[in-house]
Amino acid sequence: WRERRGVAVCLAELVSFVGDGAVESVCSLVRKALEDEVAVVREAGVFVVPPVFQALARYSEARDQLNADICALAWSPFFRRRMTFVACYQRLVTSSGSDVQAILSDDRYWECFTALAGDAIVDVRIGVARLVGILCGRFSRGSASMPPRLEALVGRLRGDASREVRSYVPAPSSEVVVSPPAPVRVLVGNEGEEWDANSFATFSRPPPPGLAVEEEEGGAEGLGVEMRMEVDAEVEVAMEVS
């Protein structure tokens, strides 16, 4: 898994150096990283999705195919892949320099999120609700009005059977602003290497009662421990299997 993770974190730079004929191969490696059985490799794949998309600006066909590959995760029978799709989208939305309006205008993403908002796995729905809360916060801070499809998704999640899912969705009269997750240090790679937690925070548990959509400052710090435990567990399983 260390070798696979090492390859994944270099893919964004690799796109910039390979010739036109090898771009599709790099995109295939991104897809494989996102589908990997070990969590730390999947996280590395999620981490490089935004820079890979930027590097593919002049390769429209390869970019569209990568988009399709990411959307395919939302329809996977494996819930971890469906959660990886949510993490990819959150990473795209919260990355600096991202064009949120362009992302939100993609019909394929909306089809995926409409389906995942009713997923049988509550953790998947929590991930969707958390991302919806972040998007609502973006629009509450700006001058643009909330897209009708986002409003419809908010309304659907407000009626979810799980209180944990509902806790991330702003109430109709709420003026709370949702901030993107703060960067945290996740010790899954070389010592001293810092990762962005935007993608990982998708899977954290909801805030305490009374903090429906507003997270305490530094609240993402606890996620590092939780994620390290998950990574260690999966790595141990992977090593036992190998």
Q: What is the spatial distance between Cα 146 and Cα 149, in angstroms, rounded to a whole number?
A: 8
Q: What is the spatial distance between Cα 168 and Cα 232, in angstroms, rounded to a whole number?
A: 28
Q: What is the spatial distance between Cα 206 and Cα 185, in angstroms, rounded to a whole number?
A: 20
Q: Is this structure's pTM higher than 0.85?
A: no
State the average pLDDT over residues 54-81.
Answer: 92
Kindly report the number of other CB atoms within 10 A of residue 21's CB atom: 7
Q: What domains can be seen in the chain, in order of their start residue? A: 2-241 (1.25.10.10)
State the average pLDDT over residues 178-204.
Answer: 41
Identify the pLDDT of residue 142: 62
* Whole-number average pLDDT of the chain: 75
